[in-house]
């Protein structure tokens, strides 16, 4: 397996066994929200395995950032598709979700049976601080590659300020970056960007076939529940709600979860507000995308309103249906549109926009990183909402000393000793267990 050039794929397809091995590793260490998960994918696929080039990785990341839904899972699917088309995409995207699905399913059953998951959360105590080191490492490497001129540093800074201090919507930030990038490119970079390879226009018939296939796959649960339980059943309502939610989740998982929480608690009564917070805690401490918490919502909603089933059986069905309706669109987006994204990769206007979006993504990841620092290393934050500002500041006296020490050790391992991802997470997890059990 070798790379043809810096921007192209390997000369021969990766075996199924190798795909399973690579993406199982990614899935097993996909903690820390989108910033951490993107860093994990980058470290394994780009830095360690050197299967995908840095440029191709950033190109895919920019596209996934523009889509509704969990960008890290979509990025994994895109990377898998680049490696081995639909087979690679299914393996990468499916394995990325599987550990989180199984973890939240098990913890949800523990929650409704025993109403206590504190011990399990303790096991993951050391992972959050370690993710900060991994994210900062990825941010450093991506910054070196993408911030090639003052203009791009300016775009990255503006993106961070807009997101962190003013809470401006993510799509608006990315759209403005793209427009500024095109203007800058037309004025200062004209004729500097040249096509490096010929990529054929995707077959329209194949595109329509892919779109119809995945629309059908996505809608299968809706029709099954509609014909077996009727349109007034709770499971049918779950299907419709989460299929709609999957299309409006722009702006990150937390923007989507605020909408889900309001509807699930106040409109449908699937769970109580305290139960929603418990579910968010579960998702924070398990692998997989943070939006996987919707599985817990579906679990609790079906458990509380089980239709004709036993509550524990209905809860399992609710988990599966919710996960299906949330993540099936991700495969639809990638398999349908990725060929076109690759086709326009060497278009000059698109390249100008892409370079600016890449710079903005640096600001986005830094914003996510700082949010993670605030929530992993400090127990309390204060909200600043005045004069247009809308951000959180840490209460310094609430710093978690043990988490900060774990983070410091992880940073030393990452930047000083260049330790592997698995060593960093292993040491941090062991320290976290030690703190929770013995201190």
pLDDT of amino acid 32: 58
Is the distance from CB of 366 to CB of 139 less than 8 angstroms?
yes
Other beta carbons within 10 angstroms of residue 357's beta carbon come to 28
Calculate the CA 335 to chain-centre distance. 18
Is the distance from CB of 35 to CB of 372 less than 8 angstroms?
yes
pLDDT of amino acid 6: 41
Is the distance from CB of 307 to CB of 231 less than 8 angstroms?
no
**pLDDT score of 156 more than 90:** yes
| Domain boundaries defined on the chain | 16-167+352-438, 204-334
| CA distance linking residue 250 with residue 156, whole number of Å | 20
β-strand pairing of 381-384 with 391-394: antiparallel
| CA distance linking residue 24 with residue 33, whole number of Å | 17
Is the distance from CB of 275 to CB of 107 less than 8 angstroms?
no
**pLDDT score of 7 more than 50:** no
| CA distance linking residue 402 with residue 426, whole number of Å | 16
Residue of higher predicted confidence among 190 and 202: 202
pLDDT of amino acid 123: 60
The confidence band for 8, taking pLDDT boundaries of 50, 70 and 90, is very low
The secondary structure of residue 3, as a DSSP letter, is B
For 372-426, write each residue's pLDDT tens digit: 788 789 989 898 988 889 888 999 999 999 999 999 999 999 999 988 777 887 8
pLDDT of amino acid 280: 67
The model carries a pTM of 0.73
pLDDT of amino acid 240: 93
For 320-350, write each residue's pLDDT tens digit: 999 999 999 999 999 999 999 888 877 788 8
Average pLDDT over residues 125-153: 83
Is the distance from CB of 165 to CB of 370 less than 8 angstroms?
no
Phi, psi (degrees; rounded to nearest 5) at 390: -155, 85
| CA distance linking residue 198 with residue 307, whole number of Å | 55
How high does pLDDT run on average in the chain? Answer: 84
pLDDT of amino acid 2: 40
Average pLDDT over residues 98-103: 89
Other beta carbons within 10 angstroms of residue 73's beta carbon come to 29
């Amino acid at each position: 397996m070798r790379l043809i050039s810096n921007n192209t794929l390997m000369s021969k397809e990766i075996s199924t066994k190798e795909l399973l091995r690579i993406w199982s590793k990614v899935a097993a260490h996909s903690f820390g929200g989108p910033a951490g998960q993107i860093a994990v994918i980058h470290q394994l696929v780009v830095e360690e395995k050197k299967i995908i080039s840095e440029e191709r990785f950033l190109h895919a990341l920019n596209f996934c950032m523009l889509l509704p839904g969990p960008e890290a899972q979509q990025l994994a699917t895109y990377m898998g598709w680049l490696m081995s088309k639909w087979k690679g995409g299914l393996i990468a995207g499916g394995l990325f979700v599987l550990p989180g699905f199984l973890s939240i399913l098990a913890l949800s059953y523990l929650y409704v049976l025993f109403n206590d998951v504190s011990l399990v959360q303790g096991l993951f105590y050391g992972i959050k601080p370690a993710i900060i080191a991994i994210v900062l490492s990825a941010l450093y490497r991506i910054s070196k590659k993408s911030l090639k001129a003052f203009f791009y540093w300016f775009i990255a800074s503006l993106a961070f300020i807009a997101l962190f201090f003013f809470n401006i919507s993510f799509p608006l930030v990315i759209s403005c970056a793209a427009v500024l990038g095109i203007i800058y490119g037309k004025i200062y970079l004209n004729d500097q960007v040249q096509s490096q390879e010929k990529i054929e226009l995707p077959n329209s018939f194949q595109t329509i076939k892919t779109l119809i296939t995945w629309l059908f796959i996505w809608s299968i649960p809706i029709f099954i529940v509609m014909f077996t339980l009727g349109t007034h059943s709770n499971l049918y309502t779950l299907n419709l709600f989460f299929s709609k939610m999957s299309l409006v989740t722009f702006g990150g998982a937390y923007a989507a979860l605020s909408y889900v929480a309001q509807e699930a608690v106040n409109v449908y009564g699937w769970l109580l507000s305290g139960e929603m917070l418990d579910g968010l805690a579960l998702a924070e401490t398990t692998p997989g995308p943070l939006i996987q918490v919707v599985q817990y919502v579906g679990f609790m909603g079906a458990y509380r309103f089980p239709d004709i089933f036993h509550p524990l059986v209905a809860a399992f069905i609710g988990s599966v249906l919710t996960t299906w309706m949330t993540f099936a669109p991700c495969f639809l987006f990638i398999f349908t549109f990725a060929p076109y994204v690759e086709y326009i990769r060497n278009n000059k206007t698109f390249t100008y926009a892409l370079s600016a979006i890449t710079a903005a993504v640096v600001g986005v990841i830094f914003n996510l990183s700082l949010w993670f620092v605030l929530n992993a290393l400090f127990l309390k934050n204060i909200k600043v909402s005045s004069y247009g500002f809308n951000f959180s500041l840490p209460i310094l006296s609430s710093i978690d000393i043990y988490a900060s020490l774990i983070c410091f050790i992880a940073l030393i391992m990452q930047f000083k000793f260049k330790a592997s991802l698995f060593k960093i997470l292993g040491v941090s997890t062991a320290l976290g267990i030690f703190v929770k059990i013995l201190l």
